[in-house]
Amino acid sequence: MLDEKKIIDRFISYVKIDSQSNANSVATPSTEKQWNIANKLVQDLNDIGLSEVSIDENAYIYATLPSNIKKKCPTIGFISHFDTSPDFSGTNIKPQIVKNYNGGDIVLNKTKNIILSSEYFSEIKQYIGQTIITTDGNTLLGSDDKAGVCEIISAMEFLINNPDIKHGDIKIGFTPDEEIGRGAHKFDVAKFGADWAYTMDGSQIGELEYENFNAASAIIKIKGRIVHPGYAKGKLVNSMYYASKFISMVPLDETPEKTEGYEGFYHLTSIKGLVEQTELQYIVRDHDLNKFKNRKAFLINLIKKLNKEFDQNIFEIKIADQYFNMKEKVEPHMHIVDIAEKAMKALNIKPLIKPIRGGTDGSQLSYMGLPCPNIFAGGHNFHGKYEYLPVNSMMSAIKVICKVCEITTDYKNTI
């Protein structure tokens, strides 16, 4: 039996370590504080008895659970990231444990009147009667993706302590900087040595994903001209007014809050403005590659149109691709998705096979030669104060990992 209290304690010990990444840093890891949890994870992997535990100069962690069977079977891997999002505070995290959840609102912070609303976040009602771990309303929780890290380590410990469960060689990988899109950039696929892998980085129980967004960033700079406002007629150019013109011409019904499923979007993530220059930062997302290309072309053509309209080069744009849909790399090897689906069904977990409205390390790793679908880790409402993790979902994810390892022993071919 899995030791629920031990696993909760392990998870809480991880989330209490501040390990936010920073997109403005060029170092790897992007923040020194990520070394704090990285070193702890190395110690924990050694303590439970894994082999070949190592950490490189960039804080990428690798380990192996050797096979306990004589026959040859595929070598598979499990991967999670230990950084947390810079979108919201990750300092001084104080998790709260709500036992026997009653289906109503959860008070996260009485002093500040911060409520986890069961009406607004209605998905929480599926966890009535369960234990739920929440924030205290001041920080994110960090279940993205320390739940995945905890689940992988706990699953490996369970397999070590229960040698009657047969498995082949299992590879473990933990990465920094996933939240800023760099988690796979320095991952050593050859050293990892798996035929395929799974990221434990999904959300609600049952999620199984092998499709994700094609993704790009777009930075738009708008040039103005500063002149004393008392003498500005015909001279001053306020870049912020021109920026608002641009924003109004990007389809407002194609934003994250207006889309779902396979629908792509433009997402304005930052505005920095003064009279003389304004900078807009967008992310562009679409599952369909042609639609993705069209979205990028739309922004470029909009810039050209506005420069022509104002008869001067006020606008400039820089677009950079970030990652691509892993579907192209996973579909030729659908047995790896089938194995995960079979594992969930064997545990009476309903598989929820759907596209990721985001990206994971797995999307980049799939293009690096390591097909890598994504399995649920259990958390909800990532990157903010309303994040929560049902404990049963975490326990179920651990069981799925173990079952995937067991089922894979009956699969004879590698990729």
Residue 414 has what DSSP assignment?
A: -
83 has catalytic annotation: yes
Q: Which of 340, 367, 350, 358 has its CA nearest to residue 211?
A: 358
Are 181 and 323 in contact by the 8 Å Cβ rule? The answer is yes
Q: Which of 103, 164, 88 has its CA nearest to residue 385?
A: 88
Report DSSP letters for 281-342, one per residue.
EEEEEESSHHHHHHHHHHHHHHHHHHHHHTTS--EEEEEEEEE--THHHHGGGTHHHHHHHH
Catalytic: which of 18, 157, 178, 207?
A: 178
State how beta strands 207-209 and 374-376 pair.
Answer: antiparallel
What are the φ/ψ torsions at residue 227 (nearest 5 degrees)?
-140, 150
Could you give the 3-state DSSP secondary structure of residue 261?
coil
Catalytic: which of 18, 44, 83, 207?
A: 83
387 has catalytic annotation: no
Contacts of 53 (CB under 8 A, 6+ apart): 42, 45, 46, 61, 62, 63
Residues 11 and 391: their CA atoms lie apart, in Å, by 10
Residue 188 corresponds to which tokens in the numbers above?
């050593």
Residues 325 and 323: their CA atoms lie apart, in Å, by 7
Are 355 and 252 in contact by the 8 Å Cβ rule? The answer is no
Report DSSP letters for 194-233, one per residue.
-SEEEEEEE-STTEEE----EEEEEEEEEE-B---GGG-T
Residues 70 and 290: their CA atoms lie apart, in Å, by 47
Residues 60 and 158: their CA atoms lie apart, in Å, by 23
- Which amino acids are annotated catalytic? 83, 178
